[in-house]
Amino acid sequence: MFFPERIKGIKPGDKVLEIGPGSTPHPRSNVLLEKKYDTEEEYNAQTGYNGTLNTKQQVVFYDGDRFPFEDDSFDYVICSHVLEHIADVPGFMAEITRVAKRGYFEFPTIYYDYLYNFPVHTTFLLKREEGLYYMLKSESPLSVFQPVQNLLYHSLETGHVDLVDDLKEYLFQGFEWEGGIRLIKTLNISELCYPAAGIRLNKKRSASVGAVIRKKVKGVVGKLAGR
């Protein structure tokens, strides 16, 4: 989770569900909902190779369809870095709003996958004023750039994360919601991007972005050449 400080709406007596907690569940979560995976490798890939979940919180496993809870079982639901793995966004969202009426979403934007193209990500998302836009990655031409993205993906695997840290406000979204969210299916990539006029980078940081990219690419190319 990149923006834990944005979770402000949990009240003292709230019962909190967290979906897909990975290895680091939120300390306020009462129940953790995790999908069943066929193999340990699939689990590790879907959770970003961040280690095994070790917690005293209640863990409930499900098959990826209907959540095993009654309507309105929770007051608040945390869903961080899960939606980008979901192909059926309307069905998944219906389950979330069935079991809770408030919560927090966090996910990578299209910019993140444009750079790194994670194989386990299936969906692009962006919250705009009018609703949550989504698009299946398979409906875009992104795969054409896979040979380019392989280098950048390898840079992230080897710990080159400065670029992500510098641009996290645009590479990820995190926001609270209440009552429900309007979903908008799109095939227009521009609707998944921030308007150019609305992008405001810190001058000191933006000046360093080019240098960061050059340094990361040079380091990765050097490692690949040395194989």
CA-to-CA dists, residue 131 to 125, 182, 201, angstroms = 10, 5, 24
Q: How many helices (H) and strands (E) does the chain have?
A: 7, 9
**Choice between 216 and 157, residue whose per-residue pLDDT is larger:** 157
Query: Does residue 57 belong to any structural domain of this protein?
Result: yes
Q: How far apart are CA 224 and CA 163, in angstroms?
A: 20
Strand-strand pairing, 76-80 and 102-108 = parallel
Give per-residue pLDDT as tens, 38-88: 666 766 665 656 667 778 899 999 988 899 999 999 999 999 999 999 999
pLDDT for the residue numbered 72: 97
Query: Does residue 208 belong to any structural domain of this protein?
Result: yes
> How many domains is the chain partitioned into structurally?
1
What 3-state class would DSSP assign to 103?
strand
Query: Does residue 126 belong to any structural domain of this protein?
Result: yes
Query: Does residue 75 belong to any structural domain of this protein?
Result: yes
CATH of the domain at 41: 3.40.50
Give the pLDDT mean for 181-199: 92
Query: Does residue 226 belong to any structural domain of this protein?
Result: no
Band of pLDDT at residue 22, cut at 50, 70 and 90: confident
pLDDT for the residue numbered 209: 53
Query: Does residue 63 belong to any structural domain of this protein?
Result: yes
Q: How far apart are CA 166 and CA 144, in angstroms?
A: 26
Give the pLDDT mean for 106-124: 96
pLDDT for the residue numbered 153: 93
Domain that holds residue 187: 4-219
| Buried/exposed code over 120-155 (b: 16+ C-beta within 10 A; e: otherwise) | ebbbbbbbeeeebbbbebeebebeeeeeebeebbeb
Query: Does residue 224 belong to any structural domain of this protein?
Result: no
Give per-residue pLDDT as tens, 125-141: 999 999 999 999 999 99
For every residue of 53-90, DSSP letters joined together read ---SSEEEEE-SSS-SS-TT--SEEEEES-GGG-S-HH
pLDDT for the residue numbered 101: 96
pLDDT for the residue numbered 48: 58
pLDDT for the residue numbered 162: 93
List the structure tokens of 4. Answer: 């834990």
Q: What is the pTM of this model?
A: 0.84
Q: How far apart are CA 31 and CA 60, in angstroms?
A: 7
Give the pLDDT mean for 200-215: 59
Query: Does residue 147 belong to any structural domain of this protein?
Result: yes
Q: How far apart are CA 68 and CA 83, in angstroms?
A: 18
Rg (Cα) of the chain, in Å, rounded?
18
- Checking if the pLDDT of 202 tops 80, the result is no
